[in-house]
Amino acid sequence: MSSATDTPIAAPPGLMFKLSLMMFLQFFIWGAWFEIAFSYIPGLKFQDAEWWMEPLIYGAFNIGAVVALFFSTQFADRTFAAEKFLGVSHFIGGLAIGGLYFLHPMPGETINFWPYFGLMLLHSVFYVPTISITNAIAFNAFTNPDKQFGPVRLWGTIGWIAASWPFIFILTNWANVPAFGSVGVGEWLGKVFASPLEGDAAQSGKSYVFLVAGIASLVLASFSFSLPHTPPKPATGEDSLAWLKAMKHLGKPFMFVLFIVTFIDAAVHQSYFIWTFDFLVGQVGIPANWAGATMKIGQIAEIVTMLALGWALKTFGWRVTMTVGVLGHAARFAVFAFFPEQTPVIAVIALHGVCYAFFFATVYIFVDKYFPKDVRSSAQGLFNLLILGVGPFVAGFACKKLRVTYTADGKLDYPMVFQWSMGAALVGALLLLLFFHPPKEEPKATESEDS
């Protein structure tokens, strides 16, 4: 028999707007620098350069995920209100990422590796935990998470997309563009889009990604204090370490399988960002100032996919939905490897939406369902350890090794490196199909933790 308590309570006025704006800014910060940096950082000339410097800079973000699990989300779960933690973290992280803009060298100059790495590490240590924290703030405020998470989280995707558009103009060679008004608007825009910066000018222009990210981070730092109050949940004894309590749940076979597949998919996902910008410019023929926007087609598709996520989970269940997400990677890399032409490549980039929503976003929802309420920030951090930490960290060094192995006469054999990513995705999908069998009933502990 149903009762009044079975009906979800309506969200307070303005709540969904605040949570959506939080997600927009959260992912705008990341989207501003992440894709273009994989093209910018290899162009830096470090003093006493070593092969490990480049992947270690990428790895700073992944180190931040480790800190998030063992300190930051533990701190937010147990002792610090989540919205205040978000504000302080984005203030410090914003100053750090913005500082990277001021370290960019002049053409021909070298740069000291350690200050550069230090600022990236400082930003990462404070930014990465906020991905879990924003999820925790949202889930704590939701009255019907299954239906509300998708529409709110898609604003993070919109933020990621919006972050790339300024760089169509920042990375334009304005010397080749006629004065506005001297020709028709269509002709003027066509000239803008067809006039990318090149060489040292392009390298210098790409450094603005860090300034844009820093400003956005400071904006979110200020806005965070107006978000719904999300208090900590103190605990003592063996439950005092939230991350340890969350980790114990990996003893369940279905959860352990998901943990392994999350690692594989995270590594494959990172390899997409490592390779694709330069692949689009050098192999497919996309202008440099359009390459970032072209990659954002995947996030545009993600908006549609996120809106359909609730329906997909209800219709197909956890296992099929996640498997389709992993297979999306395999299909995309297959096209990159065997059909490297503009039309099929641009079209298949749209599968990124399926890859993200049907696997990563689904994992976040699954974690919220199957972990106790008092450790959910740490449980999110546990999987972010793989999604943003170990998986991408391993991928950075593996891709560097593949680049060395498959580069001849200065040209990278893209079909070969893409086949490695495709094969890894197929392995992950097979593991899900064969061994991932979560219980049909959600654990009652998640419903009674606060009672």
Burial of 219 (0-12, 13-18, 19+ CB in 10 A): middle
For residue range 288-310, list pLDDT tens digits in order.
888 888 888 888 888 788 788 88
Residue type, 420: W
The answer on pLDDT for 435 being more than 90 is yes
The answer on pLDDT for 282 being more than 60 is yes
> In whole angstroms, how far apart are CA 289 and each of 105, 164, 275, 345?
21, 10, 16, 17
Burial of 341 (0-12, 13-18, 19+ CB in 10 A): exposed
What three-state secondary structure class fits 442?
A: coil
Does residue 265 lie in a domain region? yes
> In whole angstroms, how far apart are CA 338 and each of 220, 273, 416?
42, 19, 10
Does residue 1 lie in a domain region? no
What is the separation of C-alpha 185 from the centre of its chain, rounded to a whole number of angstroms? Answer: 35
- pLDDT for 309: 87
State the average pLDDT over residues 347-356: 90
- pLDDT for 375: 67
Residue type, 218: L
Domain count, the chain: 1
- pLDDT for 410: 83
Average pLDDT over the chain, rounded to whole? 85
Does residue 226 lie in a domain region? yes
Does residue 4 lie in a domain region? no
- pTM score: 0.74
12: left (phi over 0), alpha (psi -120 to 50) or beta: beta
The answer on pLDDT for 166 being more than 50 is yes
Does residue 8 lie in a domain region? no
pLDDT-derived band at 2 (thresholds 50, 70, 90) equals: very low
Dihedral of the alpha carbons of 17, 23, 28, 30, in degrees to the nearest 10: 170
Q: According to the per-residue pLDDT averaged within each range, which of 54-63, 83-92, 144-153, 380-389 is highest?
A: 83-92
Q: What is the CATH number of the domain that holds 368?
A: 1.20.1250.20
Residue 63: which domain range?
Answer: 14-448
- pLDDT for 5: 43
Per cent of the chain over pLDDT 70 is 88
Is residue 281 a contact partner of residue 291, using CB atoms and an 8 Å limit? yes
d(CA 377, CA 384): 10
Per cent of the chain over pLDDT 90 is 40
State the average pLDDT over residues 53-67: 84
For residue range 251-276, list pLDDT tens digits in order.
788 889 999 999 999 999 999 999 99
The answer on pLDDT for 353 being more than 90 is no
Does residue 6 lie in a domain region? no
Q: Which helix (H) or strand (E) holds 330?
A: helix 297-338
The answer on pLDDT for 283 being more than 80 is yes
- Higher per-residue confidence, 332 vs 62: 332
d(CA 110, CA 388): 29
The answer on pLDDT for 443 being more than 70 is no
The answer on pLDDT for 160 being more than 70 is yes
Does residue 99 lie in a domain region? yes
The answer on pLDDT for 319 being more than 90 is yes
d(CA 324, CA 261): 13
Residue type, 383: F
State the average pLDDT over residues 60-74: 73
- pLDDT for 7: 47
What is the separation of C-alpha 276 from the centre of its chain, rounded to a whole number of angstroms? Answer: 15
Does residue 58 lie in a domain region? yes
